[in-house]
Chains A and B, each alone.
Chain A
Amino acid sequence: MNLPMSWLKDFVDIDVTLNEFADMMTMSGSKVEKIHHLGAEITNVVVGRIESVERHPDADKLVITRINIGNDEFRQIVTGATNIAQGDYIPVALHGANLADGLKIKKGKIRGVESEGMLCSVEELGHSRAEFPEAPEDGIYIFGEPQELGADARQVLGLLQDVVEFEITTNRPDCFSIIGLARETSATFNCELRITNYELEKPVTDRVAVEIRNDGLCGRYVAGVVENVKIAPSPQWMRARLMACGLRPVNNIVDITNYVMLEMGQPMHAFDIRAIGGNKIVVRNAEEGEKITTLDGMERVLDTDMLVIADEARAVGIAGIMGGEGSKIVDDTTTILFESANFNGVNIRQSSKKLGLRTDSSGRYEKGLDPNLSLACINRALELVKELGCGDVVEGLVDCYPNPRPKRELEFDPSKIADLLGIDVDGGKIAELLEPLGIKVNGNTAIIPTFRYDLEIWQDLAEEVARLYGYDNIPTIVAASSNVGGKTDRQRMEDKLVETMVSLGYSQMLTYAFESPKVFDKLLIPTDNVLRDVVKIKNPLGEDTSIMRTNPMNSILTALSTNYNRRNQNARLFELVKLYYPSLEGELPSEYEILVVGGYGNMDFYDIKGVVETLGSVFGLELAGQTNEFLPKPDAPWMHPGRSVAYRNLGHLGQIHPQVAENYEIGTPCYVAVIDFDLLRDQAEMVKAYRPLPRYPQIQRDLALVVKSDITHGMLSAEIRRAGGKILRDINLFDVYTGDKVAEGTKSMAYNLSFRADDRTLTDEEAAKATDKILKAVGDAFEAELRK
């Protein structure tokens, strides 16, 4: 909402600087977005009078003028203008002037003749003939009557305006008006609000009739008639105010409706009565598919939820949004009907949204207006008609107001208000604060004016009190909390996970939770796979972000692809991502947290496996003692079948299937691991307990076993562990060899074994016996032989 300060001063007298005004208003709840100094870009343009016009000696199309700029000062100006004559008052840009579009004026010679400035058109002053209809086409602006010579032309033309732009919150439709903001000003600065009561008596006219067929959507409709209308531009002062608020002047009648809307907050409309058959206004729902061409020349197709203004036969306007082309005010309009009505805000918002048509009018209606405004506003409009002398007001109005809005009464308990705000103020002072807002306190009751229907409960009153008392004046309390606060176990585990991943060299990424349905094919996920059963977004930004992810693969691979294609030599990334699975009807989808890790460059399968092993150890999964930790061929079609494993029931890891890597345009092997965070949490043992250090020494033996190539470390070590018994404490693979020194189709696996007992020093014989047993066992099971 733009507030020209000159307009505000019609209603309040304040004596503060613009900055103070803005600060105080902001702090009392009317947030100032910006202060505009309209006309400030134009400088050094004054009113001058043409004393003489002579021909330029060397140019047929130029003349030399002598301009009186007051105080006995004269300037010689060469111009090509043809619409000027001796005695005209005109705007003169002097040497050093700044005009619109950054144009600067300097004195100089034109065809050899000194010229000390420029005579201006409205365009050069940043405006157009739409705003100054009296200005000539392609000519110098000529003031209609004599002006003070040397006066600031901006001032005379009403171009110099300080306009304060407010951000009005949705609960304050009343502040979308000059008077609303004047009321706030009066409350903020504790100064008198001067408003005229336009709620005159309302005699009835029979010139027009009004029928409201849906009083749920139209709470009130007031109509007035003006005859013998003379359509013309509105006066300069009115146009200046409209322009300062960002509206384009049109003609006197339309300008009056806009002027009243700006001043009082009530959108109005004027119909050419010739378009209203039977002189009867019908407010009704549109018919399905009903068409109307609106003022902007567009044909609109309506539905039955939309409200129209019609005569008996057809719609002449879309209620509260835009009038119809056929009923608009034109140059030969002679009789008009003013509408000042109240429409349901929610309905206007929905219709406006459906039509894709938002106007100053709909913007006001959709916030919910006070029906008690309607009458005062039409009277104000008729008053302006008289003031402008642009027509004869027909005595009497039609006012259709089936359910008048009553004044609301709220509980008034000053101690509750003071307690909620934490201030020490008595009831009298509180009532005093509320009074300028139009709120009257009467004992235990506060009587709320109908234009403040946002005030519904006593807490709303408390806010009014607080903002006028000053939020800054509420004492600040820093309370020592009795709460313990802190994080849950789960949150601490998340922190631990992040900390571990970072120390392993992985950087945390941040990916979107929604993705494209195309990812399933990219990831080679079969068409019947449950992962394709997704939570769909009904109104996505695009197909690429239309489903909630059920699998973290696309997220990590997209990130790796980004890095690969930006030629980053290696990347190590991780994130704890959420996955979303559809639930039963009515229930929220299930959300799971999954750790996804991925990387490429200077890494292989064993690096990613090492990451998982480290995590297992950090979270106390006691990896070493188990045999079934990693199982080949996980159920994950996006993985390389020979280079991936499932990890317990927690997830899987390994190299990405080359086809999938290709689909993501990653031209190097890349590796991922996925771990279900909730399952990890279930199995984790975060409480550490000390176990006594060994009291007896251990004995170490090295074994190099030659086995067939297809015998894995997993198979061998499991057998060694089994055969070694409980004195075998540790198995450490330290070398794998294939080559000349062993037979073809075999490999050598070298283990370091540690034997130890808790209750005695082991003898060499015991260790030897255990070693023999192991050798026999692996010999029997895998034909393993001791390497010679």
Chain B
Amino acid sequence: MREELLTIKEKALAGMANANSMKTLEELRVAIFGKKGELTQILRGMGGLSAEERPIMGQVANEVREELEQALEARKNALHQAEMAQAMANEVIDVTLPGKAAKLGSRHPMTMIIEELCNIFMGMGYEIATGPDIETDYHNFQALNIPEHHSARDEQDTFYVEGGHVLRTQTSPVQIRKMEEGKLPIAIVAPGKVFRSDDIDATHSPVFHQMEGLVVDKGINMGHLKGALTVFARTLFGEDVKTRFRPHHFAFTEPSAEMDISCFGCGGDHAKMPTCRLCKGEGWIELLGCGMVHPNVLKNCGINPDEYSGFAFGMGLERIAMQRYNIDDMRLLFDNDIRFLKQF
């Protein structure tokens, strides 16, 4: 019996080694371990052995079985690997063909810059406020301390519509609307479109964007204004950017200032400045107008200037966007050519 077992083993091992497919291997498995398999038959015949022989032969038989099972499993794995390798070899594709990219659209660069600025100010605790495009004369001018016949009205070539209303020339009326709501303190920025009767060219458009900011609270002073706007400028243009505040004049702030940032082109380097096209030799670029809210403006909105003070600022956004995205002609922003828009 022992010889029989060993013969089966040898034969089976040889068979496995020759089996070149899973199918042959499966046939072999059935021939050995199946109901009528050779090994199964032998094991069944164990009952006829003597009580002394049975454990000895049992052990031999188990060893043979285990060995064959392991060999079978190993061969199976090897064959499976080989088959997979073959399949993969057949599956080689041209990986240089283009991918199936989703066709994404794009946000308008003005939206992107507005979003970027809003995020900076939201991080500083500001809300985003909006107002109508068509404004009352009161909100656009009078409440901002620009009475009728004030020269500032001439500077802002205003579009008038019927009913004495105007297309807002600035985002500042949003300030007024926010203060009129009567909820204090206030910290807002208000991005939006403004309108002035300028003909369209590379640097002008009758429609452009501004962002207004307003903070009103008790004890606000010029130091707060400088602080907020310096943080803003550094966040937007990088830690190295320098700012300077210059006295200026606006009807709705007092004191008033303009904030310049060091030129991105020449960095205010006196050697490079004279030929710098960006700042035209000044070393500085005017970024925004700002100041402490004029007490008349607070009063117009029902806020007591002896109790509250605030600061406001406003800036044009096209120039920031054009600088950031290297756009040299403002008309591109309103042209809606898909080849331009797709670049963002």
Contact = CB atoms under 8 A, between A and B. Distances in A.
Interface of A: 26-29, 31, 169-172, 346, 349-350, 353, 366-367, 419-422, 457, 459-460, 462-463, 466-467, 471-472, 474-479, 481-488, 491, 498, 501-514, 535-541, 545, 548, 559, 562-563, 566, 568, 570-575, 578, 580, 582, 585-589, 591
Contacts of B155: 170
A509 B224 contact: no
Enumerate the 8 nearest inter-chain pairs by beta-carbon distance, A residue then B residue, closest first: A481-B125, A422-B223, A29-B247, A422-B221, A463-B255, A169-B249, A483-B125, A477-B223
Interface string B203-240: 00011000000000001011110111011000000000
A477 B334 contact: no
A487 B128 contact: yes
Contacts of B341: 507-509, 573
Contacts of A505: 102-105
Contacts of A346: 149
Contact of B245 (A471, A477, A481): A471
B108 A482 contact: no
Contacts of A575: 108
A503 B102 contact: yes
Interface string B128-163: 101011111000000000000101101100011111
Contact of B230 (A349, A476, A511, A545): A476
B174 interface: no
A171 B226 CA distance: 23
17 contacts: A27-B246, A31-B246, A31-B248, A366-B151, A419-B219, A457-B254, A459-B292, A479-B227, A485-B123, A486-B127, A486-B128, A502-B105, A511-B334, A541-B199, A566-B339, A572-B105, A588-B136
B185 interface: yes
Contacts of B130: 491
Contact of A537 (B107, B160, B294, B337): B160
A541 to B, nearest CB: 6
A420 B221 contact: yes
Contacts of B316: none
Contact of B295 (A171, A172, A459): A459
A476 B226 contact: yes
Contacts of A540: 159, 197
B338 A573 contact: yes
B134 A580 contact: yes
Given A422-B223, A471-B247, 11 more contacts: A27-B247, A349-B151, A349-B154, A422-B222, A457-B254, A471-B246, A486-B127, A487-B128, A507-B105, A568-B337, A589-B161
B256 interface: yes
Given A477-B226, A481-B187, A504-B105, A491 B128 contact: yes
Given A477-B226, A539-B197, A512 B206 contact: yes
Given A503-B102, A591-B132, A471 B257 contact: yes
B257 A559 contact: no
Contacts of B294: 459
B105 A506 contact: yes
Contact of B127 (A367, A483, A572, A591): A483
B193 interface: yes
Contacts of A475: 223
A169 B248 contact: yes
A541 B185 contact: no
A363 B183 CA distance: 43
A582 B165 CA distance: 11
Nearest to B130: A491
Given A422-B224, A573-B338, A537 B159 contact: yes
Interface residues of B, number: 77
A471 B101 CA distance: 54
Contact of B163 (A350, A472, A513, A585): A585
A506 B128 CA distance: 26
A485 B246 contact: no
Nearest to B224: A477
Contact of B206 (A506, A510, A538, A541): A541
Contacts of A503: 102, 104-105
Given A481-B187, A482-B125, A541-B199, A510 B108 contact: yes
Contacts of A559: 336
Of A466, A484, A488, A568, chain B has the most CB atoms within 10 Å of the CB of A466
A572 B199 CA distance: 28
B333 A510 contact: yes
Contacts of B136: 588
Contacts of B118: 487
B2 interface: no
A463 B122 CA distance: 30
A172 B247 CA distance: 12
B309 interface: yes
A245 B192 CA distance: 41
Given A346-B149, A589-B161, A466 B336 contact: no
Contacts of B256: 463
Nearest to B185: A483
B125 A591 contact: no
Contact of A459 (B127, B199, B219, B254): B254
A479 B224 CA distance: 7
A133 to B, nearest CB: 36
A26 B226 contact: no
A537 B106 CA distance: 32
Contacts of B338: 507, 563, 568, 570-573
A457 B255 CA distance: 11
A419 B341 CA distance: 49
A536 B126 CA distance: 35
Contacts of B336: 509-511, 559, 562-563, 573
A420 B256 CA distance: 12
Contact of B161 (A367, A485, A538): A538
A467 B291 CA distance: 12
B80 to A, nearest CB: 33
Of B132, B134, B149, B197, chain A has the most CB atoms within 10 Å of the CB of B134
B161 A562 contact: no
B91 to A, nearest CB: 29
Contacts of A502: 104-107
B87 to A, nearest CB: 31
B313 interface: no
A71 B219 CA distance: 71
B107 to A, nearest CB: 5
Contacts of B176: none
Of B152, B193, B337, chain A has the most CB atoms within 10 Å of the CB of B337
B334 A510 contact: yes
A27 B244 contact: yes
A353 B335 CA distance: 34
B221 A419 contact: yes
B124 interface: yes
Contacts of B222: 420-422, 466, 471, 474
Nearest to B344: A507
Nearest to A486: B122
B246 to A, nearest CB: 6
A471 B244 CA distance: 8
A484 B187 CA distance: 9
B342 to A, nearest CB: 6
B81 interface: no
Contacts of B149: 346, 349-350
A457 B295 contact: yes
Contact of A476 (B151, B159, B185, B227): B227
Nearest to A512: B207
A500 to B, nearest CB: 10
Contacts of A420: 221-222, 255, 292, 309
A580 B133 contact: yes
Contacts of A477: 221, 223-224, 226-227
B167 interface: yes
B21 interface: no
B7 interface: no
A350 B148 CA distance: 12
Nearest to A30: B247
